[in-house]
Amino acid sequence: MKKHNFNAGPSVLPRVAIENSAKAVLDLNGIGLSLLEISHRSKDFQAILDEAMALFKELLDIPAGYQVIFLGGGASMQFCMIPYNFLNKKAGYLETGVWAEKAIKEAKFFGEVDIVASSKDKNFSYVPKGYTIPADIDYFHITTNNTIYGSEIRCDIDSPVPLIADMSSDILSRPVDISKYSLIYGGAQKNLGPAGVTFIIIKDGILGKTDRKIPSMLNYATHLKEPSLYNTPPVFAIYTCLETLRWIKGLGGIKTIESMNIKKANLLYDTIDNSKMFVGTVEKESRSIMNICFVMKDQYKEKEDAFMEFSKTKGILGIKGHRSVGGFRASTYNALPIESVQALVDAMNEFEKNNL
């Protein structure tokens, strides 16, 4: 039976990216060696890295004056590298979910943290609005997509101080005005590739503002000097990212991807909104088009497990909500086909018809 993969991360990847990665593991471009057994300093790998960085820049329309690097350590490592490199006295954070809280926790090791606005009062079910970003902070940090609770900041905000964004779970899902940001980062394993690689987009000239001594591996300057090659980068993960980027380009780029994503999200949100049984957990204006969270209304709550079992019989996988929200979360990342969303919608309608 066809499987519909709604996993939150690691998550669905374009089939062609997986197939081509499998081929490269067996024999890279016909050189007679596996991608896994060549030097990261070989010309074969350099070509992969160069193309991946160039395509990433091209697809996101990254202007001159920015560099792209691929590192290990995950987005969670960036939670610490950012304050290590940029926090002198005080930084501002928008507290919109568990990932933002984790970033805040690390920043506190390095200085003062100003929680500029928070949606914790309502279990992170909305994105705060109407706050003022203080002018006396070293940077302002946001999480554009709240993967666990399903809210998203789908516009590029203006900030009077350097803006830093965790885009782990919505990178490449919509066009971004990169010029508004000083640094953008994320783990690849939601929308870009396999686990193990982290992308960083960094504006020139933002380093060197702290006197703190920074260990080499945690210093952005180290990794910018030898882009992505100071130490051995995650070669396999970077290769699969390249294949995903080629797939996006082949489809026509990010605008195309965005309209596909909106279509998928609308299909599911419309079903939720028209349902007598299911209800969304996020305020409408803040809804994510990447992670769609919903529960059963109180009077049907005890049927949630039954729906989970029913959906499995239809090949629908990975829709269990995060333990802090409960219910269901359907992750509709770039590579998820609309047919999978249709399968979920059909399952919801059928279950509702039989169980009201």
DSSP single-letter state for residue 194:
S
Q: How many CB atoms lie within 10 A of CB 95?
A: 20
CB of 100 to ligand PLP, least distance (A): 8
Tell me the H-state helices in the chain. 15-26, 43-59, 74-86, 98-107, 220-225, 235-251, 254-273, 304-313, 338-355
Residue that has been written with the tokens 């980068």 in this structure: 233
Cα 244 from Cα 236, distance rounded (Å)? 13
State which residue, 52 or 345, has the beta carbon closest to ligand PLP: 52
- Residue 245, beta-bridge partner list: none
What's the closest the beta carbon of residue 123 comes to ligand PLP, in angstroms? Answer: 17
- Per the document, the length of the chain is 356
Catalytic, 204? Answer no
Catalytic residue among 2, 27, 61, 99: 99
Q: Which is nearer to ligand PLP, 4 or 141 (CB)?
A: 141
Orientation angle between helical segments 338-355 and 254-273, nearest 10 degrees: 0
- Give the residue with the Cβ less far from ligand PLP, 74 or 193: 74
Min dist CB 96 to ligand PLP, Å, is 9
As measured in angstroms, the least distance from the Cβ of 78 to ligand PLP is 8
Query: Minimal distance in Å, beta carbon 293 to ligand PLP?
Result: 13
Min CB(141)–ligand PLP separation in Å: 11
Residue 10: both structure tokens together: 């690691």
Shortest CA distance to 222 belongs to which of 239, 200, 194, 243?
200
Half-sphere exposure of residue 268: CA atoms within 13 angstroms, side-chain side: 31
Residue number, 139 or 307, with CB nearest to ligand PLP: 139
d(CA 87, CA 314) in angstroms, rounded, equals 49
Catalytic status, residue 99: yes
Q: Spot the catalytic one: 138, 190, 203, 264.
A: 190
Q: Is 74 left (phi over 0), alpha (psi -120 to 50) or beta?
A: left
Q: Which residues of the shown chain bind ligand PLP in the complex (CB under 6 A)?
A: 9, 74-76, 99, 143, 147, 166, 168-169, 187, 190
Let me know if 209 is a catalytic residue.
no
Of the pair 44, 101, the CB lying nearest ligand PLP is at 101
Nearer to ligand PLP, 48 or 75 (CB): 75
The DSSP 8-state label assigned to residue 302 in this structure reads G
Query: Which residues have C-beta within 8 Å of that of residue 325, sequence separation ≥ 6?
Result: 123, 148, 149, 150, 281, 293, 295
User: Active-site positions?
Assistant: 99, 166, 190
